[in-house]
Amino acid sequence: MNILITGGSCGLGKAIVYALSNSPGNKVFFTYNRHGDESDAIVRGKHNVIAIKCDFTNAGEICELEKAITTFDLDVLINNAYVGLPQGTYFHKTNPESFLKSFENNIIPIIRITQSAILGFRTKKFGKIINILTAALVNVPPMGYSTYASNKAYIMQLSKSWSYEYGKYNISSNCVSPDFMLTNLSETVDKRIVEQLKANHPLKKILTPEEVADVVAFLVGTSQHINGANIVINAGQNIL
Ligand SMILES: NC(=O)c1ccc[n+]([C@@H]2O[C@H](COP(=O)([O-])OP(=O)(O)OC[C@H]3O[C@@H](n4cnc5c(N)ncnc54)[C@H](OP(=O)(O)O)[C@@H]3O)[C@@H](O)[C@H]2O)c1
């Protein structure tokens, strides 16, 4: 399969790149922004992995990626990259402009990239869209998460439209909503809070990117009958 993962240079995206590129039949494209050296290291020695520079805050680079997607003959798109940090301040102290900026940096690129991928999927009558959300959508969102959790809720809703509108073209759209993981995105979280999360966790351990990558790999390999799902990976801590 030909697979594009956004934000594959570190954290969860990198774990997904490794998990999927282990199958020799897969050709894995991934985007990066700041971690160019890290991306070079991922590609090194792997004949089936290609790194593409794309800054989601740069309209020109998104445009280049949209064009490139039409040449990839994609089977799978994994919307994983996130621009900015989840943790902000109280909602009433958040500048309304920052909601708009975050929407422009996170949602518009996903819309443009997914539109480009769907054009190809419709032609070949096959495609899989996998969107990385957050367990904060079902858990009580942590304080300061209003922008981040709202962006993820927007993507969840888009995914429902995609699964309904394109199911008849054999295109599925599913989501994966992981609990807290230790990555660059969470590096500003106080060590004491991390210890507290671990102590209160039913399994007494923090979820790893590799465990989430396994679930993404399952969705990549599974039936198109799985469409419109959101797999929450939170060890049953909150159940809707
Ligand atoms: N960590 C958690 O606790 C957690 C929990 C639930 C869900 N998630 C979700 O998991 C996904 C991956 O996050 P992560 O935890 O693996 O964080 P991460 O290690 O910081 O990875 C984020 C990825 O997004 C890319 N990115 C950041 N700014 C970008 C920009 N301006 N343009 C293009 N790409 C950009 C990064 O690329 P460069 O580094 O190369 O710039 C990186 O590959 C996100 O959607 C996040 O919301 C994370």
98 within some domain: yes
Residue listed under structure tokens 């020695």: 45
Q: State the Rg of the chain over Cα.
A: 17
Query: Could you read off the pLDDT of 126-172 as tens digits, one per residue?
Result: 999 999 999 999 978 999 999 999 999 999 999 999 999 999 999 99
Nearest to 62 by CA among 105, 103, 25: 105
Q: Which of 79, 82, 179, 187 to mutate to test the pocket of ligand 1 (most atoms within 8 A of CB)?
A: 82
Residue 190 lies in a domain: no
User: How high is the pLDDT of residue 239?
Assistant: 75
Confirm whether 105 is domain-assigned: yes
Does 148 qualify as catalytic in the annotation?
yes
What local confidence, expressed as pLDDT, does residue 55 receive?
98
pLDDT at 139: 73
Residue-range definition of the domain harbouring residue 121: 2-180+209-233
- Closest C-alpha among 23, 154, 102, 199 to residue 2: 23
Predicted pLDDT at 75: 98
Rounded to the nearest angstrom, the distance between the alpha carbon of 239 and the centre of ligand 1 is 25
- In this structure, is the dihedral angle defined by the CA atoms of residues 18, 134, 63 and 219, taken in order, positive or negative? positive
Residue nearest to atom 11 of ligand 1 (CA): 80
pLDDT lower than 50: segments of the chain: none
What's the pLDDT at 148? 97
CATH number, domain at 11? 3.40.50.720
221 within domain boundaries: yes
Number of domains in the chain: 1
Catalytic position from the list 90, 148, 164, 166? 148
Cα 234 vs. chain centroid, distance in angstroms?
16
From the CB of residue 167, how many other CB atoms can be counted at a distance below 10 Å?
A: 15
In a domain, 238, yes or no: no
Residue nearest to atom 24 of ligand 1 (CA): 81
Q: Examine residue 65 and state whether it is found in any structural domain, yes or no.
A: yes
In angstroms, how far is the first alpha carbon of the chain from the final one? 34
Residue at 158 is within a domain: yes
Q: Is residue 195 part of a domain?
A: no
Q: Could you list the beta-strand ranges (E) of the chain.
A: 2-5, 27-32, 49-53, 76-79, 127-132, 171-178, 230-233
